[in-house]
Structure 1
Amino acid sequence: MLASLPPEILENICDKLNGIDLQRLSLTAKWLHKVAFRQLWRSMTIQPYPESERHCISPYGPSQPCLQYTRELRFDPGVDADPKRCIHASDWLGYMGNWTEKVPLHQYTWEARGDSFGLEGGKLVRVKFECLAQRAVILLNRFNDGQLESFSWNYTSCIPSEILEILSLKHCAIQSLSLVTDPFCSRFNRWSRTADIDLSAFHNLRRLIWKAPMGCHFDNIASLVKANARQLEELELELQGWSQDRESRESTVIHHEDNPEVWDKIPASTMLARQMFGLQEAASEAAERTCFPNLRSLKFTRVPLRDENTGIQVTTSSINLNALRHLSLRMCAYWMPFLSSIMKSQTPLQLKTLEILDFYLDMPHETAKSKAATTTEFIDSFKGLEELTVSICGPTSSLQFWEHVAGHAASLKRLVYHQSITDQDEELLNSRLGRDSSDLGISSEDRNCIRKDPSQNPLSRLNLEFIGLTCAPKYLKDILLPFVAKRSLKVLHIRHTGMNSGPSASWVFNHALELKITEGENKGVPIDDTTKSSNSLNDDAEEDVYLSLEELATAVRERREWKTPPLQQSFREFAKWAFGSNGIKSLEYIVAGDLSHWSRYSANNALICRVVGGERRYRVSSQERGGPEWRDVKSRYGSALEACPVENIVPEYN
């Protein structure tokens, strides 16, 4: 059938396929490989081996016939990598050398040798970073001038200035620039009020993404945004949260000639917003502010939408709302007035995705209600959403909130609803982080109502493919009953904030029982499907664990077959129902845990897959072990699984 299609149709099909599917297609026949060859090499990812050593990349890459078709170049540490810190954090000080063919070893560095007197070996450098820079330069020099259209640096690390220099000189017309750096790296003089990079050559950007920038790079960001504002179609900035001590330092890293003493008292993030949007008092007229006439996607994290010093708010006059399709505001101060200004403009919105993340736990109840009301009012102001992500704090009734979500029933396919509440236990170390709501603010009376009549549940009006909820499994059956009669729901994500997993028990895994079984094994106590182990596992348990012999046998078998901790009985019962004959017949996966930084909490994350024809109706796959199902669910629903991250990409250190 494919052989009968015109070449241009086949090329169009290849354009729509992702990397894995395209590769599989190219391997089915020689003539298909020839058709797909150009598209196969259009995007190239440079990945280190091993993943933990980001400087260990090949300096040469593929052969030139392959390389000539590359338009997108990505430096990526790997799908499951979570570097957390810059390469500099584990680097060594050593003499400058040539590391294009060999990898620097610690025993040969200046640090290890203890050459405390003299520098007879030459210039001292950070050897891993220098190795990465040298190899990246060799690779970049193999591309023809102007060949690259897109460049991504996802290393969570400082980017070597040599890389940006080559891009500026040879590929200044690139249309997409994406950087993930480390705002806390201190291996160079970051308090000198000067930036170490120059991005002034890029004037053709249509897509700009910068996650975890340093304060000293905020000037670069503001200048880059203003220089490309007229043609920018996608803008994503993700600032990191930091302590008050660091905030006072970050506020001083940008050089201002007019009055540095005054400027230094202004938060660095406010300075970024002021410069980027033109919120200075002198630019109070709308005509003098930065405008984004072609912006289709706007995603901000911790970017204030109002200058507290000047009182000037980012307004809709800066953005062509008719063009905007994707809006994400995560922990952005003054997001409510921004949404209100959009509604007041009365511009017909055509948003396809919306993400609102508000994570300020210590707030009065009335403030929480006001924020929820603003969100629902905004959701009511237009139609056509395909993906909605909302994370709110406070005891809001989910059923009432979902009534507003149901207004998008004709189009909505993905819903993520994350509810957090303040933890009242003052003795808990993590109480300031709050905890996930286990019942979604739904009273027992309301649960009884939607159990008896699922049509009273607003979710009954939605044909969702994906839903993510913070809810204990014992309540999920009542909430998801509307999907029993539907054929839409493919994936359920039981969300659980990873940084709270210490004081909060897992909703999926029975870690108390896992501990007792492990202790029994270490002491040489037989652990099998018999009665011999039951008493020894429960005698000295810190928590009361009352299990029948059948449940204990099931737990032991789960550990043996799946290589995971045994399941909580409440989750086991829910999964048995969900994948059973009376459950949700369209359901393919249940994902459990915190995937906001994908593998950061892999030990507590699980994927439960439907099994057809076996004794069990499901099986459990840990994220640490991975597998094709994990790759499948990420490729299809990765953005929804990773939604609403409350932690930094880079945890604060130094």
Structure 2
Amino acid sequence: MESLPVEVFWAIADWLPPQAVRSLSQVSSRLHSLFIPLLYRTVKFRAASEFALNVIDIDTFFHLHRFSQDSCYLQYVRELSIHAPIVLSRFNRCAYFNVFRSSANVNSVSTLGTLGTSNEGKAHEQFLDDISRQLQLVQARLKTNHLRSLQLRWRLGACVPPGFLDSGGYIDRHQKGLHHISLATDGSCPHSGNCLGGLCGLSSLKSLEWEGIQQHVEVDILRSCILRNRAQLVALSIGFIAPVATEDFYQFIFGVTLTDSKPCNGSDYASIQFPSLRTLALSKAFLPRQLRPKEASFFISLQSLILRDCAGQLAFLGSFSRSQIIPRLRHFEFCSDGLLHTHNGNRDVSPLVDFLLSLDNLKHLHLRLSAFSNTSQIQLAIEKHRSTLESFAYHERGLLPIDEEGLFEDIRDKTPEWLYLMPWIIRPYQLTALALCTEPSALRSRLEPMARTSALQILHFRFSGSEKAHRNIQAEIHTHLSKKYQSVSNGTSPIESFQPTYCGTSARNLSIGFDDHLPDSLVEPMDNFGISNRPSASISEAEEFVKFADWAFGPNGLPALQVLAFGDFSFEDRYQNQQFSMHRKCGDRICTGKACRDPFSGNTRDRNFCVGDVMNPPRWDLFQANGFNFLSICPESGLMDSPYE
């Protein structure tokens, strides 16, 4: 063992669950020196409750790890994440914003006096002081510039305290070599952006994500940061709380002024400004309605384009198509509400169809359309790319009757009109990931004739919407399974008597750098917020889903299927009661780690699947599609929007 190369041990560690690596690190001093840096390469600190974002488990970490500054495990950290659940979202993210305030967007600090009493200012200051104190414990033990090759994530969705990301703060002075930074801040706070000036000093960023932008000072910082890193910037993701109108989109966001003159080599000015940019994601941005050909070339080098609820995005795509410049996109995601983001009430989906028809060789196509007309045209665009598509998601919502008489209508999920033509529209024997909004029985009837040749690894029944927000679909399925496969004794209810055994590695086992002091669920039960968790009176939907799972994982089902998901998985735990997943039972090439048993029967041979922990699946990296990210695509709302607001 002493003679084996270090690379061999690292290769082994990549295939082992974290707890196994932790155990191996205790075998010998050499293995300890090899594996401990790997275990603590990524550390995630969390605020367990959305109603106490200033209570992060940093104090708990230092209580359980009593080391000197020189021997602290944090010296190995290359990826630091500070995370919190965003379920009810902006209800309690900032002392200057709450559900009782009529104005949701505060545009300037000058309005501070109208926001309430001075108690808000004191609460806000105390909140930042609490976070700052905990951050200083971590900062003092990180190696200078040791985070340069990986990433630093701040995902609280709250205000950032002074001394951390501001000009002259810790990041600006000690971690200037960062390659990736991910921010989720609360732009509705009048102080937002005051402590983010240090972003302008970073010059090695390859990936920048920032969600929750609203203040003008934030936009100025964003533009300065983008320009400083434009030479090597590969991925850029920008999300606003609300669209910010601007006449010059390129100057406003990218700081680029397009002129009529071109460089002597004949290439466009904009493409020279961002030679490495391959991925662009825009959420609630304001896109130009008219696009000249030279402006379209700004996007020509992109391989991935994501547009989510941007003002004018449909007209933007239509104008792009008319430019006759064909981008080299391999991944395209489009999310739009026809009632909110169309011009003069025109909900024609034709510009999107024209844009998709102008593309070639798409590998990943993800669409979410709400309240659009003539959506049947979409099948023409989908059919064009069927020979190259590897993942496909389609989520459509429209006006549907909500009563038996059909007198009342509301926006609801709907089955695509082209589903009956599925074998000619998409190819299940080529797709590895599929997400559709339809009934399980309807999809099964289309898949059965070609089931044995299916290459599907991930299948997602995509449902969402406010009509499901007060339902606990997870409990409904648990109730159905426990009634069918487990006898209830001692007069207890099915939910009380049923405690599922999850397949694979639990969330607790995947908390690298922590002893077992964190709960598996970091979000408080929804009962505490006045939302019922009881199953609905009818569980026919749950029964239909379980029947589909029995077929899909069975001998006559989909042979490559590894994950079957049901519900809304956008924004992790936000819609946790609408989520349910099943994995193929342990023993195959995907489901590895702890042995699992059927939680609904003592006989493990009765079933071909087990309850899955989708947040921490056995091995997402073995899937051809991008695992959990695929289940989270096309969110129904913005990150900083509350589904209950």
Q: With the length of structure 2 as denominator, give the TM-score of the two structures.
A: 0.69
Please say if 1:407 is aligned against 2:407: no
Q: Secondary structure at the match of 1:442?
A: helix
Task: State how far apart, in whole Å, the 2-side matches of 1:152 and 1:269 are.
Answer: 29
Task: State how far apart, in whole Å, the 2-side matches of 1:83 and 1:371 are.
Answer: 33
Please say if 1:574 is aligned against 2:574: no
| Cα shift at 1:424 | 6.2
Instruction: Answer yes or no: is the 8 Å Cα contact 2:144–2:175 preserved in 1.
Output: yes
State how 1:189-268 maps to structure 2 within 5 Å. Answer: 195-198=194-197, 199-216=199-216, 217-241=218-242, 267-268=244-245
Task: State how far apart, in whole Å, the 2-side matches of 1:638 and 1:528 are.
Answer: 30
Q: Which residue does the alignment assign to 1:523?
A: none
Q: Which amino acid aligns with 1:133?
A: S
Q: Which residue does the alignment assign to 1:297?
A: 279
| Cα shift at 1:642 | 0.4
* Range 473-482 or range 556-565, more displaced: 556-565
Task: State how far apart, in whole Å, the 2-side matches of 1:288 and 1:372 are.
Answer: 24
Match of 1:330 among 299, 308, 315: 308
Please say if 1:646 is aligned against 2:631: no
Match of 2:466 among 481, 499, 520: 499
Q: Which has the higher contact order (CA 8 A, sep 6+)?
A: 2
Residues 211, 614 of structure 1: alpha-carbon distance in 2 compared, 3 angstrom cutoff: same
Instruction: Answer yes or no: is the 8 Å Cα contact 1:203–1:227 preserved in 2.
Output: yes
Identity among equivalent pairs (%): 20
Q: Which amino acid aligns with 1:415?
A: F
Task: State how far apart, in whole Å, the 1-side matches of 2:448 and 2:638 are.
Answer: 36
State how 1:147-226 maps to structure 2 within 5 Å. Answer: 147-149=146-148, 150-164=151-165, 165-186=169-190, 188=191, 195-198=194-197, 199-216=199-216, 217-226=218-227
Q: Secondary structure at the match of 2:273?
A: coil
Please say if 1:134 is aligned against 2:113: no
Task: State how far apart, in whole Å, the 2-side matches of 1:500 and 1:38 are.
Answer: 47
Instruction: Answer yes or no: is the 8 Å Cα contact 1:608–1:619 preserved in 2.
Output: yes
Residues 81, 400 of structure 1: alpha-carbon distance in 2 compared, 3 angstrom cutoff: same
Can you give the 5+ residue segments of structure 2 that lack an aligned partner in the other structure? 99-116, 263-267, 485-492, 501-533, 586-597, 622-626
Residues 52, 374 of structure 1: alpha-carbon distance in 2 compared, 3 angstrom cutoff: same
Q: Which amino acid aligns with 2:220?
A: D
| Cα shift at 1:501 | 1.8
Q: Which amino acid aligns with 2:177?
A: A
Can you give the 5+ residue segments of structure 1 that lack an aligned partner in the other structure? 93-113, 117-121, 242-246, 248-266, 451-455, 518-526, 530-555, 622-626
Q: With the length of structure 1 as denominator, give the TM-score of the two structures.
A: 0.68
Deviations 1:458-479 (A, max 9, x none): 4346422321111122311123
Residues 500, 597 of structure 1: alpha-carbon distance in 2 compared, 3 angstrom cutoff: farther
| Cα shift at 1:578 | 2.5
Q: Which amino acid aligns with 1:582?
A: N
Q: Which residue does the alignment assign to 2:365?
A: 388
Q: Secondary structure at the match of 2:426?
A: helix
Q: Which residue does the alignment assign to 2:564?
A: 590
| Cα shift at 1:558 | 8.4
Deviations 1:30-50 (A, max 9, x none): 444432333332222222456
| Cα shift at 1:641 | 0.5
Residues 41, 171 of structure 1: alpha-carbon distance in 2 compared, 3 angstrom cutoff: same
Instruction: Answer yes or no: is the 8 Å Cα contact 2:455–2:559 preserved in 1.
Output: no
Task: State how far apart, in whole Å, the 2-side matches of 1:481 and 1:125 are.
Answer: 58
| Cα shift at 1:178 | 1.2
| Cα shift at 1:597 | 1.6
Instruction: Answer yes or no: is the 8 Å Cα contact 2:615–2:628 preserved in 1.
Output: no
Task: State how far apart, in whole Å, the 2-side matches of 1:236 and 1:432 are.
Answer: 36
| Cα shift at 1:10 | 4.0
| Cα shift at 1:293 | 0.4
Q: Secondary structure at the match of 1:390?
A: strand
| Cα shift at 1:56 | 2.5
Match of 2:254 among 277, 291, 298: 277
Q: Secondary structure at the match of 1:479?
A: helix
| Cα shift at 1:13 | 6.1
Task: State how far apart, in whole Å, the 1-side matches of 2:333 and 2:88 are.
Answer: 23
Q: Which residue does the alignment assign to 2:513?
A: none
| Cα shift at 1:647 | 0.8
Please say if 1:632 is aligned against 2:617: yes
Task: State how far apart, in whole Å, the 1-side matches of 2:399 and 2:450 are.
Answer: 31
Q: Which amino acid aligns with 1:355?
A: E
Q: Which amino acid aligns with 1:463?
A: Q
Instruction: Answer yes or no: is the 8 Å Cα contact 2:297–2:325 preserved in 1.
Output: no
Q: Which amino acid aligns with 1:67?
A: L
Q: Which residue does the alignment assign to 2:354?
A: 374
Deviations 1:300-357 (A, max 9, x none): 112233177xx77883433561xx33322222333564586489565672x4433222
| Cα shift at 1:207 | 1.3
Residues 238, 181 of structure 1: alpha-carbon distance in 2 compared, 3 angstrom cutoff: same
Residues 352, 7 of structure 1: alpha-carbon distance in 2 compared, 3 angstrom cutoff: farther
Instruction: Answer yes or no: is the 8 Å Cα contact 1:284–1:312 preserved in 2.
Output: no
| Cα shift at 1:52 | 5.2
Q: Which residue does the alignment assign to 1:477?
A: 444
Residues 559, 56 of structure 1: alpha-carbon distance in 2 compared, 3 angstrom cutoff: closer
Q: Which amino acid aligns with 1:299?
A: A
Residues 161, 507 of structure 1: alpha-carbon distance in 2 compared, 3 angstrom cutoff: closer
> What is the aligned length?
530
CA RMSD of aligned residues (A): 4.6
Q: Which residue does the alignment assign to 1:488?
A: 455
Q: Secondary structure at the match of 1:434?
A: strand
Q: Secondary structure at the match of 1:127?
A: helix
Task: State how far apart, in whole Å, the 1-side matches of 2:249 and 2:346 are.
Answer: 31
Residues 153, 268 of structure 1: alpha-carbon distance in 2 compared, 3 angstrom cutoff: farther
Please say if 1:420 is aligned against 2:420: no
Q: Which residue does the alignment assign to 2:435?
A: 468
Q: Which amino acid aligns with 2:208?
A: L
Q: Secondary structure at the match of 2:417?
A: coil
Q: Secondary structure at the match of 1:88?
A: coil
Residues 296, 3 of structure 1: alpha-carbon distance in 2 compared, 3 angstrom cutoff: farther
Instruction: Answer yes or no: is the 8 Å Cα contact 2:210–2:239 preserved in 1.
Output: yes
Instruction: Answer yes or no: is the 8 Å Cα contact 1:355–1:389 preserved in 2.
Output: yes
Instruction: Answer yes or no: is the 8 Å Cα contact 1:219–1:272 preserved in 2.
Output: no
| Cα shift at 1:639 | 0.5
